[in-house]
Amino acid sequence: MTSSTKASRTLKYTDGATQFRQRIITSLLSSRPLLLRNIRSDDLDAPGLREHEASFLRLLDRMTNGTKIEINATGTQLRFKPGVLLGGEIEHDCPVGANGRSVGWFLEGIFPLAAFGKEPLQLTLRGVTDGTSDVDPSPDYLSASLIPLMIKLGIGSDGDHPPPLLKVMQRGAAPMGGGSVDFYCPIVKELKPLELVDFGKVKRIRGTAISCRIPPSSAQRVAHSAKGVMHRLLPDVWIHTDVHSSSGRKRKGDHGAIGGCGPSPGLGVLLTATTTEGICLSVECSMNHNVSDSDNNAFNIGAQQPIERRQMELPEDLGKRSATLLLHEIHGGGCIDTSCQSFALLMMCLTPEDVSRIRLGPLSQYAMVSLRLYKEALGVEFKLRVVEEESGGNDEDDEDDFEDDRKRNRGQKTVICSCLGIGYRNMARAST
């Protein structure tokens, strides 16, 4: 191969750290070198790569063989030459504090690569596990949303290896962390085509309210508030509480969990809705520590302006907010969560040379940008077809007029995405 051909295969971007993980993932999967320029070059105080981005590169370097990473002196330019995925047993400490990200941010970048190594991946990550749902997913959310999707794609479903498993060994709320998670993923030769277009009807809702270094009554208040909203729609609602104290002790018999939590307090809730077609939609919320107390604001007489006070979000408000987000996700009509759209579309690109289809709700901005990236790096174009939700006509018993009117007034539209996979095969896996 000539040098000009190698240069043309290089993925070059001049917009800095935009889609940092996605570009590195597609570089590894397509075996094409990557060049990123102008990484926060306009930031005079702290230009270049952040600490968590450099940590992610170190993790990938340990997961692969032959990867070459070159970063210039200022950190504003990155050259990434992909190697071969290995897998195996790996331990990694994720940065915490103001310059860190949660373990969910790292897991999101590892999930698309985990099944294509030479050996099954057994990864242990330590850092922040909870309290960052506004920016990063928690391990519980990834376990409830991405793990079932990986099994549908044929990862761990052949019986030779156990299915993927993501387990929280110790909780660690933001910002100090102190948590630990174990992730296991078997290897596959190739994926299965994906067919997810039938949504069905919601039949049950399950959830968990998680608290660290907070009185147990707070988690119970969150669960009670969320159930109060959901019980107006269906009776099969169960929300459990998972309380962790600073003593490092936990109830025996909890699947070998070592219990305890990190030094920071935190409160969050995860809700999952399951439909009659086996579709799982999940949302999560964590306590907002910067809520404006507009009702009890003091008044500055001298400046004739109200003094805005800040307080922590009430557990009841957290429960209602999580229930509202789940209802919004269900109303979208997609067969996967909005936050999982980019991952699902990427895995569809890697399926065998057969048509894969999936029904999505409103496309997120991140998914739209990802579609352009997949077209450039993998050469896969998606066919998008907007479908207006049909109302009524699927029940065995006739619904009353109010129910029919409610369905007609929905007016939501879904998008059916279909593509022809590239037939990606795990060449690192030892042949038998």
Taking only the tens place, the pLDDT of each residue in 329-365 is 999 999 999 999 999 999 999 999 999 999 999 999 9
Least confident of 79-88, 115-124, 313-322, 411-420: 411-420
Residue with the larger pLDDT of the pair 160 and 29: 29
Reply yes or no on whether the pLDDT at 252 is more than 70: no
Reply yes or no on whether the pLDDT at 110 is more than 90: yes
Q: List pLDDT tens digits, range 1-36.
A: 433 344 458 999 999 999 999 999 999 999 999 999
Per-residue pLDDT, 311:
74
Q: What is the mean pLDDT of residues 67-74?
A: 96
Tell me the CA distances in angstroms from 246 to 85, 106, 263, one per residue in order. Answer: 38, 26, 7
Residue with the larger pLDDT of the pair 189 and 403: 189
Per-residue pLDDT, 398:
45
Q: What is the mean pLDDT of residues 279-287?
A: 96
Per-residue pLDDT, 251:
43
Per-residue pLDDT, 305:
52
Least confident of 51-60, 261-270, 300-309: 300-309
Least confident of 40-44, 79-83, 260-264: 260-264
Reply yes or no on whether the pLDDT at 174 is more than 70: yes
Band of residue 430 on the pLDDT scale cut at 50, 70, 90: low
Band of residue 325 on the pLDDT scale cut at 50, 70, 90: very high
Reply yes or no on whether the pLDDT at 327 is more than 90: yes
Per-residue pLDDT, 234:
94
Q: List pLDDT tens digits, range 122-143.
A: 999 999 999 999 999 999 999 9
Per-residue pLDDT, 247:
55
The overall average pLDDT reported for the chain is 87
Helix axes 103-114, 51-63, angle to 10 degrees: 30
Q: List pLDDT tens digits, range 115-124.
A: 999 999 999 9
Helix axes 20-30, 51-63, angle to 10 degrees: 20
pTM of the model: 0.88
Reply yes or no on whether the pLDDT at 299 is more than 60: no
Band of residue 161 on the pLDDT scale cut at 50, 70, 90: confident
Reply yes or no on whether the pLDDT at 165 is more than 90: yes
Q: What is the mean pLDDT of residues 378-389?
A: 92
Q: List pLDDT tens digits, range 27-54.
A: 999 999 999 999 999 999 999 999 999 9
Per-residue pLDDT, 402:
43
